């Protein structure tokens, strides 16, 4: 799960809003894994100032099939990867996206599909790990 999906879902001005609304039923039909960095990115000052939005988001987080995944096992690897990529000018990405990539490579975490609109950062790793981009 990428924070871009949540931004699109809750912001009618987002270019991917209509697509996110069409896909929101999957949040109820599938088990959803949300790493903590996605929460940090999504629950920002602007987000919490909209009570209806925060209530809807909380219902997603509290759903029975939603798992909040501890990112601590992936932080250092992701941190290192961000700097290596940036210095080499090779597909630079944010630390949050690097944590998601590290999680996607962990065979102990079952991820079958990923809701994202960021195919640039996640397309390759999802293809290699056989994770469907939704």
CA–centroid distance for 46 within its chain: 18
**Per-residue model confidence as pLDDT tens digits over 117-129:** 988 889 898 999 9
CA dihedral sign of residues 121, 76, 113, 106 = positive
How high is the pLDDT of residue 96?
A: 94
Instruction: Give the chain's domain count.
Output: 1
Distances (CA, A) of 19 to 8, 55, 60, 94, 100: 8, 21, 18, 24, 22
Mean pLDDT of all residues in 44-50: 90
Interhelix angle 51-61/3-10, rounded to 10 degrees, is 140
CA–centroid distance for 64 within its chain: 19
Confidence of residue 100 (pLDDT cuts 50, 70, 90): very high
Mean pLDDT of all residues in 59-80: 94
Mean pLDDT of all residues in 67-95: 92
How high is the pLDDT of residue 33?
A: 93
Query: Which CATH number is 9's domain given?
Result: 3.40.50
Q: pTM for this one?
A: 0.88
**In which domain, by residue range, is 79 found?**
3-133
């Amino acid at each position: 799960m990428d924070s871009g999906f949540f931004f699109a879902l809750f912001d009618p001005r987002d270019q991917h809003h209509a697509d996110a609304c069409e896909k929101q039923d999957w949040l109820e039909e599938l088990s959803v894994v949300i790493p903590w960095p996605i929460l940090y990115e999504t629950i920002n000052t602007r987000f919490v100032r909209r009570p209806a939005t925060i209530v809807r988001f909380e219902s997603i987080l509290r759903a029975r099939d939603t798992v909040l995944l501890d990112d601590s096992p992936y932080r250092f690897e992701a941190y290192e990867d961000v700097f290596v990529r940036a210095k080499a000018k090779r597909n630079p990405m944010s630390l949050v996206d690097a944590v998601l990539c590290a999680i996607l490579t962990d065979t102990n975490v079952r991820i079958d599909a990923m809701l994202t609109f960021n195919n640039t950062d996640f397309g390759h790793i999802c293809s290699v790990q056989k994770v469907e981009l939704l």
